[in-house]
Amino acid sequence: MATKITLDAEPRSETGKEAARALRRQGFVPAVIYGHGEETQVCKIETKQLERLLTSTSYESTLIDLKTEAGSKSVLIREVQFHPFKPQVLHVDFLAVRKGEKIRLEVPILLVGEAPGVKEGGILERHRHEAAVRCAPAAIPDALELDVSELNIGDSLTVAELRAPEDVELLDDPSTTICSVVPPTVVTVEEEEEEVAEEELVEGEAPEPELVGRGKPGEEEASEEEGKR
């Protein structure tokens, strides 16, 4: 089952873009907690603590014991907003969950074994990295394993081959492809020669264009001399 970890949340009173920017400068990430029809709570999480969680676990399927002033809450991370081009977390949404209630979430798919087709030169392609499931918080699996040890070149595995615990319901279409072994890409001699020719054309100097109406070398100078006479 998924590992439950602890995270500390501190209350915050101010909201809005400017308040959020100020929080980030102070080393915090603005966050909200919602669920069960209760009023949304605003809080802040220490940036370093949150980043450790995000980089060390599959956070979408990790049950969190969130410590607040009002007490502990079992929550899941529902959404994380990242800066578009900086390694910075901008905001996080927590979904409060209750013991025994079933929730929908994505859990990682873990490929195990070695495919014979890969040993023969094939390429293992991943089409899905996660599977949608419904289960109680206490039953959230760390991952769903998928054995690839019988995959030959041209073979594939679908959601139907996933084996989930009895108390975990798979929600994806059973025919959805998770992974496959495809033949290696073969490059012909002609294609290699064309690529080399293209590279040489790009890297080399462009040929000097021939001027229309240009005479033989020396004719221009001779014409100029005749014009002076």
Q: What is the CATH number of the domain that holds 141?
A: 2.170.120.20
pLDDT at site 191: 54
What is the Cα–Cα distance from 78 to 93, expressed in whole angstroms? Answer: 5
In this structure, are 158 and 126 located in the same domain?
A: yes
- Tell me the H-state helices in 9-149: 17-25, 47-56, 116-119
pLDDT at site 224: 46
**165 part of a folded domain:** yes
Q: Which two tokens stand for residue 225?
A: 């001399």
In this structure, are 43 and 81 located in the same domain?
A: yes
pLDDT at site 116: 95
Question: Tokens 């229309």 appear where?
Answer: 212
- List the beta bridge partners of residue 197: none
Range of weakest confidence among 79-93, 117-131, 199-213: 199-213
Q: In this predicted model, which residue has the larger pLDDT, 119 or 223?
A: 119
Domain that holds residue 22: 4-98
In this structure, are 93 and 112 located in the same domain?
A: no
Please write the tens of the pLDDT for every residue from 151-170.
999 999 999 999 999 999 99
**170 part of a folded domain:** yes
Q: Are 124 and 148 in contact (CB under 8 A)?
A: yes
pLDDT at site 187: 57
If pLDDT is split at 50, 70 and 90, which confidence band does 146 have?
very high
Average pLDDT value for the chain: 83
If pLDDT is split at 50, 70 and 90, which confidence band does 184 have?
confident
Q: What is the CATH number of the domain that holds 21?
A: 2.40.240.10
